[in-house]
Structure formats: structure tokens, C-alpha cells
Amino acid sequence: MSSEVHTSVRRPVPDDLFGGRLRGAYLLDLEVVDVHEVATHVRSITMESSDLVGFEYKPGQDLMIEFPDGERSVRRRYTVRRADTVVGLAELEFELHGGGGVATRWASEAKIGDRLSAIGPRGSMGVRLEATAHVFVTDDSAMLATFAMLEALPDDASATVLLVTPHGPLSRPGPNPAAHVRQLWLDHSELGMTIPQLDLTTSLTAYVNGEHHFVRSASGLLAMAGIDEAAISTKSYWRRDQPNAPHGEPARD
């Protein structure tokens, strides 16, 4: 991995791009400087760029990346796992699975020196620091964001984390649980039985991230269990029945 220190570069997204919805984000030219597997189904890829020096983002936010797809390119969004904004590095993680899309195919073949264009930071997902109790519900596609947000919790905050995956307990590395953080690794079939058993008597906020239909189902279960819908933040990363829209996220209908 390069140890070169870059000079900060700031290239704001033009106001007319995407109808002005990307104001506050920046154009990023990224180069792969490290690739390694963190689990049998997860690949970590570290990007380097002078555009990332001084880059400000909130844990849980992502980059909208352009991936090559034959004669064209498509945009997909990936959460920043961690970053070193002094030297200009950002680490992303890609879930590798059969039948994956263009981003998965790129990640499975990525090598040092490969380059991509991106825009960031993107997304409004973030930890509600005023809350003292938190519930996270996530599948494999959003565990990265959940781990980043867990690390941003105040030391005295309590949290229950439901990690839903077919790969089994501890199937990918995450943050070491703090004293007030309870992590439960679940199969999808166990989610409907687990949520009603949670202690939701205290005032708390919830975050549900993952595949579109999973997010709808899990947030509905939390509401039925007694969490105010206004206290539930949701983000869909993809949907199993159709490709993502051109802006990199699934359609909302």
C-alpha cells in the first residue's frame, strides 16, 4: 500500500448533475492499492486518492461508484468501512456471491492499480447521537454500514444488533462489542421470532438496512413490536426482483 501523502483536492459536483441532488458531494478519482479477503464471501478493497484527503463523511455514508459494464458504466453505492483522510485512503467491502451484478464481478477481479470514478459522500443514514438505546437490523449487504455506525456510538450507549445471514455466526469480522452492545447472529427464518422477544420498553431508535424486501419486513416487525415508526431509519441497498436505478439505489415502489 502506498505511503505517499497527497495534497487535498476539492472538486464539488456540478450543481446541474442529477438535478442538483448531489450538492455537498465531491468528484473522486480512486485507485486500488490493497485487496484482500476478510471472509469467504467478502472482499476488502482499499482505494487511494488525493480527492480523499480531508474527505468528511458520517459513519454509514457511502460512495456512488461508476463500474465498467462493457461499452457503458453503471453506478452502484458502497459504504465506507473506514478511511484515513490524512493520507487519502478509503476501505470498502464487497459481498461476493454467485450471479452477482456488475459491481460484484468487478470486485472479484479487482487488482492493485485499477481505477474507478465516484461521487461522495452520499446518504443520510447516520447514528442518532441523542438516543441512548439503539436497535440495528441488517443483512449481509448492509453489515458494513452497521459496523461503521456501531463504532460511532457513544461509549455509554446501549445497542442490540441483529445480524441476519445465511453464512452463520461470526461469518465476517466486525467491531468488538462494547460493554452495552448485544450482537445476535440470525438466519432469516429466525428474525420474526426474535424481534418480538426484544426488550423495547426503553426509548430507543432503530436502523434497518439491507435488501429492499428485507427492510420492509423487518421495519414492519419492529413497528408491530412497539417501536414508533418515526424512530425507525431505513435504507435499502438493492432489491432481489430488479436491478438498481441509474443513481445506484433500488426503486422505491
Are residues 98 and 188 located together in one domain of the fold? no
**CATH classification of the domain holding 203:** 3.40.50.80
Please report the pLDDT score of residue 246 as a whole number: 64
Are residues 111 and 139 located together in one domain of the fold? no
Please report the pLDDT score of residue 106 as a whole number: 96
Please report the pLDDT score of residue 74 as a whole number: 92
Are residues 153 and 196 located together in one domain of the fold? yes
User: What separation in angstroms does the CA of 61 have from each of 27, 97, 145, 180?
Assistant: 15, 23, 7, 24
| 2 in any annotated domain | no
Please report the pLDDT score of residue 217 as a whole number: 96
Q: Which structural domain, as residue segments, surrounds residue 175?
A: 133-238
Q: Residues 61-119: pLDDT tens digits?
A: 999 999 999 899 999 999 999 999 999 999 999 998 776 789 999 999 999 999 999 99
Alpha helices in 23-138, H assignment, sequence order:
102-109
Q: Mean pLDDT by 10-residue block, N- to C-terminus, for the chain (253 residues)?
A: 63 84 92 96 96 94 94 93 95 85 93 97 89 94 94 90 96 86 95 92 86 96 93 89 69 62
Are residues 166 and 106 located together in one domain of the fold? no
Element (H, E) at 153: none
Please report the pLDDT score of residue 19 as a whole number: 79
CA-based diameter of the chain, in Å? Answer: 54
